[in-house]
Structures are given as structure tokens and as C-alpha cells.
Amino acid sequence: MREDGFAGHLVALCTIFVWGTTFVSTKVLLRDFVPIEILFFRFLLGFCALALIYPRMNRLRERRHELLFMGAGLTGITLYFLLENIALSHTLASNVGVICSLAPFFTAVAAHVLLRGERLTRAFFAGFIISISGVVLLSLHTGAHFQVNPLGDCLALAASMVWAFYAVLTRKIGALGYHPIQATRRSFFWGLLFMLPVLPLSDFQFEFSRMAKLVNLANILFLGLCASALCFVSWNVAVRLLGAIRTSAYIYLIPVVTVATSVIVLHEPLTPAGCVGMGLTLLGLAVSEGRAGIFRRGREKCRETCTRHSY
């Protein structure tokens, strides 16, 4: 059980590291692509990659299971990314970053209500408050200011809630025993299908000449193969091992990875607010994952030992 827990934490950490660096690729691609094009191409490539890696089709044990895959594709693939992208066009990026970091909180509430064995703890809420404080400081590190923009902020909040339902559905799918690659591929299929009606309403173009640029091709491959195909499978594995609540807490680390990457790759300065924000976010994650309880038990054991030797 402990080995499974360690593996789950490691997988979640690696997944978040990749997701935290995707902003660089997206920023580069936005020179030649609109957001919906990046979204569709990356998940189409991810679906094809998963089909090649594990071409075996999974037969549903029950027809009602298809509803879970449809829901996962609609929430985690289509709605979450569309809401987030639209929110970015109506409010500040710092607003979206802070509000989307509320996803672990909504996930915890949804999982507690809809799933068995997912319990809310005081440690989780304490970690949530600490981490959100860190995320706010990280947004201030970029020089941005949190300004209320009702439409964009509400869309970002909706994206956080949608991700919570995706986490719950992923947990339910994981309990059914389907292969992680097959399950992720099926969710991708429904996500792409739900995305199709949106394409004619946007500036989407099937113009593949833009892929001739090596920088565009490299970044699309990174988003499609690593950030989508690989990371969604690994995230689903982490949820299966740790549960929806504990895995979702790692979302707090995305702003930390983003700031660290911007400092290393884009040579952006690291301000004192950024340093404190990173520290608070990491501390909040540790508290949420129960590390504070481990430290407390260690102190209690130390006191017991000292008391025993004092007599």
C-alpha cells in the first residue's frame, strides 16, 4: 500500500511538472494558431498516439459505463479547456491562474459528496488556504494585479468546477478496471467529438502548412504526445492510486512550475513575492497531503522517548 502511495505521488508530481511547462509551448504556438486549433490538434495527436501504443479496443462491460467516458471527455477535455481559453480573452491571466487553482477545493467537495472513501480533513482545508495564498503571491510576482472581470472570472470559476467533475468521473472509471490507456483514449474520443460543433463557430482552419515550421511542429508534438497522451494517462493512474482529493492537491504546483520555467527558459526575474509564494504553495501541498501529521507524530514520539529516558 505504501509502495502504491509513493508511486502515485511520483506520477502526480511528474505529470504536474509537464503541465506546468506547457505555457511556453502554447505561447509559441499562439503566433500562428488560435487557441481552439491548438486544443483540437493536441488532443487529436494524443488520441492517435494512444491508439498506436495500445490499439486494442476495450469492450464495455456495461452500456452505462459509456456515460462515464462521455462525461470525462466533455468535462476534462472539451469544457475545461474551452472555458479556460475563453476566460483568458475576457479577464487577466493572473485572475485565471488564481481562480483555476481553486480546482482542488471543488474536487474535494465533489469527491466527498459523490465518492465513497474520499474524506475531507482539516489538513486539506489548512493546506488549501496556505497554497492559495502562495498562488496569489505568484500571480503578483508577474507584476499583474487581480481585477474583478465578472464574465471572465465566472468562466474561470466554471472551469475549476468542471475539472472537479472530471476528477470524480476519472475516479469512477478507474474503479471499473479498464486499462488506463484505453480509458484515456475513449475519453479523448468523446472530447474531440464534443469539440467538433465548436470548430465552425471559431477561426479554426485545417491548414497544415504551419506545421512546416520546426518550432511549431516540435511544440505541437510536445503538447500532443507528452502533455496530452502521456500526462492524462499518468494523471488517471495517480487518481486511481491516491484518490481524487489527494491527487488534485498537486494542481497547486502548476503555478510554481510555471514561474520556475519562466525564470529558467525566459530569463524572467524572480521577485521576493515569487519566492515566498513558491514556499507557501509547497508548504500548503505538504499540509494537504498529511505531511504535517507525520511531523506532529514524529514530535510526539520524540517527546515520549525523552519522557521515558528522563525517569
User: pLDDT tens, 164-189?
Assistant: 999 999 999 988 989 999 999 999 99
Which positions ≥6 away from 197 have C-beta within 8 Å?
Answer: none
Q: Which cell numbers in the block locate residue 298?
A: 514524529
Separation of alpha carbons 289 and 292, rounded Å: 8
Say how many C-beta atoms besides its own lie within 10 A of residue 75's C-beta: 24
Per-residue confidence (pLDDT) for residue 147, from 0 to 100? 61
* Contact in structure between 29 and 38 (CB atoms under 8 Å): yes
Percent of the chain, pLDDT > 90? 30
Over residues 88-96, mean pLDDT = 71
Reported confidence tier of residue 148, pLDDT bands at 50, 70, 90: low
Per-residue pLDDT of 3-46, as tens digits, reads: 567 888 899 999 998 988 887 788 788 888 888 898 999 999 99
Q: Which residue has the higher pLDDT, 152 or 155?
A: 155
When mean pLDDT is compared over 48-62, 163-177, 202-216, 273-287, the highest value belongs to 163-177
Give this prediction's pTM: 0.80
In the chain, where does DSSP find H-type helix? 2-29, 35-53, 65-72, 80-88, 93-100, 103-114, 122-141, 150-174, 180-195, 214-221, 231-242, 244-248, 253-265, 272-288, 291-310
* Cell numbers at 218, concatenated: 516540435
Residue that is written with C-alpha cell 470525462 in the block = 72
pLDDT, tens digit (0-9, with 9 covering 90-100), for 196-250: 998 988 888 888 888 889 999 999 999 999 999 999 999 999 998 888 888 888 8
Q: Compute the average pLDDT of residues 280-296.
A: 68
How confident is the model at residue 3, as a pLDDT?
59
Provide the pLDDT for residue 165.
Answer: 94
The answer to whether 181 and 50 have CB atoms below 8 angstroms apart is yes
Q: Which amino acid makes up residue 266?
A: L
CB 122 within 8 A of CB 275: no
CB 308: neighbour CB atoms within 10 A? 8
Q: What is the dihedral of CA 218, 221, 226, 228, to 10 degrees?
A: 140
Give the number of other Cβ atoms within 10 Å of residue 89's Cβ. 10
Place of cell 502554447: 26
Answer yes or no: are the C-beta atoms of 36 and 81 closer than 8 Å.
Answer: no
Write down the pLDDT at residue 273: 76
Q: What is the pLDDT of residue 270?
A: 73
Print burial letters for 9-38: b (CB count within 10 Å at least 16), e (below 16): bebbebbbbbbbbbbbbbebbeeebebbbb
Locate cell 509502495: which residue? 3
Cα–Cα distance, 155 to 176 (Å, whole number):
32
Domain containing 160 equals: 2-310
**Number of domain units in the chain:** 1
Q: Is the pLDDT of residue 267 over 80?
A: no
Of residues 62 and 68, more confidently modeled = 68
Q: For residue 222, what pLDDT is reported?
A: 95
| DSSP calls for 53-120 | H--PPPPPSSTTHHHHHHHHIIIIIIIHHHHHHHHHTTS-HHHHHHHHTTHHHHHHHHHHHHSTT---
Decide which of 58 and 127 is more confident. 127
pLDDT at 259 over 70: yes
